[in-house]
Structure 1
Amino acid sequence: MSDCLFCKILAGEVPSDVVYEDEHVLAFKDIYPQAPFHVLIIPKKHISTLNDLDVNDNELAGRLFTTAKIIAQEQGFADDGYRVQMNCGEGGGQIIFHMHLHLLAGKKFSA
């Protein structure tokens, strides 16, 4: 997607502060953090929203969550806890239409 910010990050056209990368996902620090530690975890395959996910993407969707777990462990947040969030669609608060998880940590969250 030529106009997708996250696709431009994946292509190296827009800089990012990468925290984790493998052949399927990229995780980088959010430029507008909502917690002391806030990273975005994106699939390297462009999927606009959770609603666009199909059964062929099940493994990739699971990989987003296992990546969140790996990063939380590597950064020392696994024992104290962390939040993983996904917004879907404009009404759900999604701003960038490339499916992604938010991993937030470093503070106590309320319910």
Structure 2
Amino acid sequence: MAANEFNDFYCNEVLSGRTPVEIVRETENVLAFYHTRPFYEEHIVVIPKRHILSIITVKQDELDILKEIFSVIKDIATEMNKKFGACTVSTNVGSYQSTKHMHWHVRYGNRIRD
């Protein structure tokens, strides 16, 4: 299934360059950026540059990308924890996943919008 066959904001907008983002960290396979419409005071999204639907669909040949993602998440969470004393790291699966591209939220603070 091609990425554009379903709701994939990250492939269709962010990775294509159609929606500009403020990059926090970038590696060969991972992009971390400030959420385009943040829900929290500090809200960073971490995505693989390769289309992977969800954490439960990761294939054997994608495990190195997953390790790279977790390395980026660890660095961002460490920095956020030093700055604020806490943070939340989360991902969604199935019907909770509004964007059908594996992504992680690293966030801190009060909810600023619904």
The equivalent position to 1:77 in structure 2, one of 80, 97, 100, is: 80
Does the 8 Å contact 1:28/1:40 carry over to 2?
yes
Q: CA-to-partner distance for each residue in 1:32-90, whole Å, 9 max, x for gaps?
A: 323211111000110112222112211211221210121234xx423312111010111
Does the 8 Å contact 2:22/2:34 carry over to 1?
yes
**Match of 1:5?**
9
Pairwise mapping of residues 42-57 of structure 1 onto structure 2 (< 5 A)?
A: 42-57=47-62
TM-score (norm 1): 0.80
SS at 1:33's partner residue?
A: coil
Q: Counterparts of 2:74 and 2:58 in 1: how far apart (Å)?
A: 21
Q: Does residue 104 of structure 1 match 2:114?
A: no
Q: Does residue 39 of structure 1 match 2:36?
A: no
Does the 8 Å contact 1:69/1:78 carry over to 2?
no
**Between the two proteins, what is the percent identity of the paired residues?**
30
> Which ranges in structure 2 are unaligned for 5 or more consecutive residues?
none
1:31 CA drift (Å): 2.7
**Match of 1:94?**
97
Q: Counterparts of 1:55 and 1:34 in 2: how far apart (Å)?
A: 33
SS at 1:2's partner residue?
A: helix
Q: Counterparts of 2:60 and 2:36 in 1: how far apart (Å)?
A: 32
> Which ranges in structure 1 are unaligned for 5 or more consecutive residues?
none
Q: Counterparts of 2:88 and 2:67 in 1: how far apart (Å)?
A: 16
SS at 1:78's partner residue?
A: helix
My pick for the range that moved more, 38-47 or 61-70, is: 61-70
Q: Counterparts of 1:94 and 1:28 in 2: how far apart (Å)?
A: 18
Count the aligned residue pairs.
103
